[in-house]
Structure 1
């Protein structure tokens, strides 16, 4: 039987370096790497920054020895030829048709092992559990503040920490990361179901699902950082003012609900009650309760002057469970009782009509 081993040469940090150094520099460096590889072996270039070598032979052990020797030689030559480094991944001996796929499966471990090395196919099943650290509280604070940079730093630092776990499978790390990103989606979701849970139909209408799927193909942490920054730009509102605007919009739509509370609004906009209270103080120089009372009083004054509804009905439509409570709040904020306010308005209206 003839065996084949795939040898995949992958330039390290190519996307990040291209952005930092420019496309012309990157092309020149790739040409040097290409010449260095072709000096020692036939290969197939896989743009933009990979090459595939397939070795064949009847003895799988000798074949792996040849592949390992070639991999070390190629990696050293690329380093001497220019300013790039490379990771060379070896598949297992198998059918020629599976050589590239098996080498790519090995190359996925670059995400957890790092670059500038030769990687061989891992043996056996990898243990799978939960991540070694959790960052949800810190991530929630960054998201609620609209700080995309801090959120990205938290996530990429967390990825680096997770990658230190012994025998971590890259697919497991990808799943953990997608879980954290869905947590971000849950935090910024604008609509909730009656139970208070995320309206995932609405969330997924705005969720960049295609981009989330591509994370499984990322095998380099430098590119993963770029990807995380871009995805968070799509997911996180631009600033804390957006959170406050969402809270104010929710209050404007639900102020007539007697059960409306700070906790209700906070849950509706996926923020903590403390954070909402802080935003009202910092951005509006007021409190949640004053803001809510202002909305209710404005509506009550409009009803008193534009309708003949009894005070009890005005109280109910303005978010108060009893006319007594409504009268007390109205007098403190307006300076007179609802009935006195209505009579005064009618008197002013009659006087204007008489003058006309």
Structure 2
């Protein structure tokens, strides 16, 4: 099978930052380095740039094709766009948006890595589809493009001819997934081995998201929240916390939600999960004891809440982060 042409959009408005260069290099490494012993021919890589960058920090890259080179490719990949495009009020270059629409109309498989999702969304290619980006940018993506079904818990999404990945190394997960689709599991596994990475990672990016911590904007709640975090292994109720804060349960609920963006019970659960994460990373305690010390109770209850919120089991989390 001929894997076809992969066209990568190189957006270098004011130079390419180190972060953007990382994801660009992932796409170039996976699709641009031939492996004739695994598949011959390999992919044909095409770098399509937006022209010479304006003066600024970062790297510049000479490309052999303009953005019109995206049209006619079998797969189009948009790595991270400049940081300003993913910030509130930022805009994706109209020239890139039009080129992406034309490439999609020509039948290309459309792929974004990290904040490249903002470019696909601006082109209307993610409307009604499930998509992701780096968890630090998913809230802004959802706010600016309400028709997109944003999922910040996964490493990548696959909606047929439109695929998106979370940030950083999740771009490699998606690129290997594309190789697996095109050339089979054996080839993808061998490429992963040569890159010294697992061919498939368990869980999603939820395991890397920082869980909410107590906000200290409300001075009246700071002491009681600190008191609670020191006693997570004990039975704690909203009534008890409200009484200690000298507030009614209703007022306590409202103030905590204003300060942290979450309810008292959700806040307690997030703190207990954070305690469990810390114990899994720093101790060899069995899961049963971690459940008790974090206030989550039995090992079964810990596993249930941990897997649902973090996306992996406590054992898999420890295996990933213990080192």
The two structures have a TM-score, normalised by structure 2, of 0.31
Higher helix share: 1
